[in-house]
Amino acid sequence: MRKQDITIYDVAREAKVSMATVSRVVNGNTNVRKDTRDRVMKVINRLHYQPNAVAQGLASKRTTTVGLIVPDLTNLYFAELSKGIDDIALLYKYNIIITSIENRLMREDQAIQGLLNKQVDGVIYMSDTLPEEAVEAFKRTDTPVVLAGTKDSHSEFPSVAIDYKKADTEALNLLYNDGRKNLALVLGNPDTVVNVQNRIPAYKKFMSDHNLGEGHIYSNVKDHSDGYNLLSQLDQDGVDGVIVTNDVTAVGILNSAIDAGKKVPEELEIITASATQIASVVRPALTAIRQPLYDIGAVAMRMLTKLMNNEEVPETQIELPYEILKKQSTTNE
Amino acid sequence: MRKQDITIYDVAREAKVSMATVSRVVNGNTNVRKDTRDRVMKVINRLHYQPNAVAQGLASKRTTTVGLIVPDLTNLYFAELSKGIDDIALLYKYNIIITSIENRLMREDQAIQGLLNKQVDGVIYMSDTLPEEAVEAFKRTDTPVVLAGTKDSHSEFPSVAIDYKKADTEALNLLYNDGRKNLALVLGNPDTVVNVQNRIPAYKKFMSDHNLGEGHIYSNVKDHSDGYNLLSQLDQDGVDGVIVTNDVTAVGILNSAIDAGKKVPEELEIITASATQIASVVRPALTAIRQPLYDIGAVAMRMLTKLMNNEEVPETQIELPYEILKKQSTTNE
DNA sequence: CTGAAAGCGCTAACAT
DNA sequence: ATGTTAGCGCTTTCAG
């Protein structure tokens, strides 16, 4: 496979020690006399020896590799989560195998099984939907899993996220205080755990608490173009304030309004429930629930390192603080 | 490691065949009688046997894993490239190990070495800079490498990209035909191969061919805020048309202009040299050189699969067609 | 502190 | 068509 294939055996021979000793110095085992350690190190450097991680993995049953399951890399929401994960993984010397499941050729449970076959030491799961087969796949294994930026319906798995209910309620309240009474909620997939258990109930409760009627929930609005096309419906329904879960979708609505000569925020207020770089870069900039995506990823990965080392993890259901960033798509009165 | 650790040996015993035969059916080897194959398959399913990819990798010296080296996952340029890579990798059943090198804790050659230690079957390199140590690291190995969305200075490595010189010249010409004479070039890192060998020479040649003087090249303008702050300099230099390599940077300039009440495109035309989703989502939408990022990634990965199988690859320096997307940041007269 | 030896789970000749 | 037998390169008892 490699041009030069220096093995631990070559080093042992050259340094006149056993492979066991070489293994010890490679792994930083302290039970090696300083001068033998130095001698071995010298040979390692001279021969440019590099341990074969696959062989190490087979022998030690640890691959120092974690698997990431993510719907779509080109969605900045996941990219920013991944960055937090990646930085902490680097810190703890773990490699990352990424499996993208947007492609319909790959189901969630297949993705999980594939990672387990690769003997990853842990998995971070970022998809907003966790099908039953995926739950089963996780339960069949001892490999630890952490959910990042999402939750499962029974809180069976460790997770790092924010309090979506509270955040949405606060956002709705902002619109309400700006005088908006015809509030709408725009969702992508309406069947995700977060939507079913948090966003939709929070919305319904808010509407009923404030006697605002049934309101309007729009589902399956997933990208810029869906958002763009939704505007006419919003107009028709007389919506004057809207929470949009995905910020690219929110930008679609915004651009549609701009192109139609509809004033944002005067005639329509928009809040995106997940701010990525895109939300801050458009004009008018979008008021947003800022989830600490990088931190969510980082904390999730940190928790996973503990789980992989069988360390004590006192709290496995973590909620990080969010922030409501008031920008130009709300009047903020 | 796993709760249930069914090995090929267990299957062999239960199916009353040798492990070799089990291995054969697992790997789709045809030299197995149909009824034994069926019997083995039945046991595999009953026991939920899953091959240990690490052991397979050690024995076969192939890991069906490729390494990706990427500067920054949250840059859509790389995310879109990665998506193309990922889709083709899935098609050919390769897993992907991602190594991000933006973090200063990780040098290019260390990233490469790390991937080689993991015994990846191939590497796709996406960073726009390829330091000498990285070149050396690649040369020390037989593991194939493909550059995606970038080039190396001596065309030593297979690569998939576009003709940057031609594209830039065409973009400059568009500005010129719109009547702009004070043209500028805005770069991130000025020392990348693409900038040094393609963009800067193309710019200089264009300026001199059209007697437009020295022109202005601005370097190290890397993000939205850098772009935002650059506007005053552009004003000072009387620039009326600008090519910006990074589209987030371009948006920074655009937003700065909007906020300063400067009309785009009337007073300043902007073309971004790499269009991601962001370029099309801002208003006015950015005129752009549309690089087929997804395709570049896909073609690079496809080429890598051939290289990994020692197949013939007639052309290793591939240039894909680009497109100039005329949008609202140029007048397009 | 160091070495010998037995695997880790699988593939790949080589036999039969 | 199937079985036998060496490894792949390393870690990890177990002795000493």
pLDDT for the residue B333: 79
Q: What is the pLDDT of residue B31?
A: 83
A219-233 in b/e burial notation, b at 16+ Cβ within 10 A? eebbebebbbebbee
pLDDT above 50 for A1: no
Closest nucleotide C1' to the C-alpha of A119 = C9
Q: Is A82 on the interface with B (CB under 8 A)?
A: yes
B332 pLDDT higher than 90: no
Chain A residue with Cα closest to B5: A141
CB of A7 lies under 7 Å from some atom of strand D: yes
Say whether the CB atom of A19 is under 7 angstroms from strand D: yes
Chain A contact for B20, CB < 8 A? no
Nearest-CA distance from A287 to chain B in Å? 16
Q: Which residue has the tokens 């490729």?
A: B66
Q: Is the CB of B52 under 7 A from strand C?
A: yes
Query: Is A325 an interface residue toward B (CB < 8 Å)?
Result: no
Residue A103 has pLDDT above 80, yes or no: no
Q: How many CB pairs under 8 A join A and B?
A: 159
Asked if A309 has any chain B CB less than 8 Å from its own CB, the reply is no
- For residue A118, the chain B residues in CB contact (below 8 A) are 53-54, 65, 95
Interval B190-242: pLDDT, tens: 999 999 999 999 999 999 999 999 999 999 999 999 999 999 999 999 999 99
B window 145-184, beta carbon within 8 A of A: none
Substitution target from B6, B44, B95 for chain A, most A beta carbons within 10 A: B95
How does residue B135 score in pLDDT terms, banded at 50, 70 and 90?
very high
The mean pLDDT of A45-59, rounded to a whole number, is 96
What number is the average pLDDT over the span B171-188?
Answer: 97
Give the chain B residue whose CA is nearest to the CA of A93. Answer: B114
Q: Mean pLDDT, to the nearest integer, of A93-118?
A: 93
Give residue-wise pLDDT tens across range B275-307. 999 999 999 999 999 999 999 999 999 999 999
Q: Does A59 touch chain B (CB under 8 A)?
A: no
Determine whether the interchain pair B103/A119 forms a contact, defined as Cβ–Cβ distance below 8 Å.
no
Residue range B151-158: mean pLDDT, rounded: 94
Q: What share of chain B in percent tops pLDDT 70?
A: 99
Nearest nucleotide (C1') to alpha carbon of B7: C9
CB atoms A73 and B86 under 8 Å:
yes
Interface touch B54/A119, C-beta < 8 Å:
yes
Q: How far is the CA of B291 from the C1' of C3 (A)?
A: 60
3-state secondary structure chain B: CCCCCCCHHHHHHHHCCCHHHHHHHHCCCCCCCHHHHHHHHHHHHHHCCCCCHHHHHHHHCCCCEEEEEECCCCCHHHHHHHHHHHHHHHHCCCEEEEEECCCCCCCHHHHHHHHHHCCCCEEEECCCCCCHHHHHHHHCCCCCEEEECCCCCCCCCCEEECCHHHHHHHHHHHHHHCCCCCEEEECCCCCCHHHHHHHHHHHHHHHHHCCCCCCEEECCCCCHHHHHHHHHHHHHCCCCEEEECCHHHHHHHHHHHHHCCCCCCCCCEEEECCCCHHHHHCCCCCEEEECCHHHHHHHHHHHHHHHHCCCCCCCCEEECCCEEECCCCCCCC
Q: Which nucleotides of D are covered by protein (CB under 7 A)?
A: 1-5, 7-13
Q: Give tens-digit pLDDT for B49-73.
A: 999 999 999 999 999 999 999 999 9
Please check the confidence at residue B1 and state whether its pLDDT lies above 50: no
Q: What pTM does this model have? A: 0.95
pLDDT digits (tens, 9 = 90+) for A231-278: 999 999 999 999 999 999 999 999 999 999 999 999 999 999 999 999
Per-residue confidence (pLDDT) for residue A102, from 0 to 100 = 85
Nearest CA in chain A to B64: A118
Q: Is B260 at the interface with chain A, CB within 8 A?
A: no
Q: Could you tell me the two tokens for A72?
A: 């779509």
Quick check: A142 contacting B, CB < 8 Å?
Answer: yes
Please tell me whether any atom of strand C lies within 7 Å of the Cβ of A1.
no
User: Residue A3: its pLDDT value, please?
Assistant: 53
Q: Which residues of B touch A244 (CB under 8 A)?
A: none
pLDDT for position A41? 95
| pLDDT (0 to 100) of residue A143 | 96
For B198, half-sphere exposure in the C-beta direction (CA atoms, 13 angstrom radius) is 23
How big is chain B by its Cα radius of gyration, in Å?
A: 25
Look at residue A4 and tell me whether its pLDDT is greater than 80.
no
Contact between A73 and A79 (Cβ < 8 Å): yes
Encode pLDDT of A285-299 as tens digits: 999 999 999 999 999
Chain B residues in contact with A143 (beta carbon < 8 A): 1-2
Portion of chain A with pLDDT greater than 90, in percent: 95
The pair of three-digit structure tokens given for residue A100, joined into one six-digit string? 């993208």
Average pLDDT, chain A: 95
Report chain B residues whose CB lies below 8 A from the CB of A87.
103
Q: Give the integer Cα–Cα distance in Å for A219 and A222.
A: 8
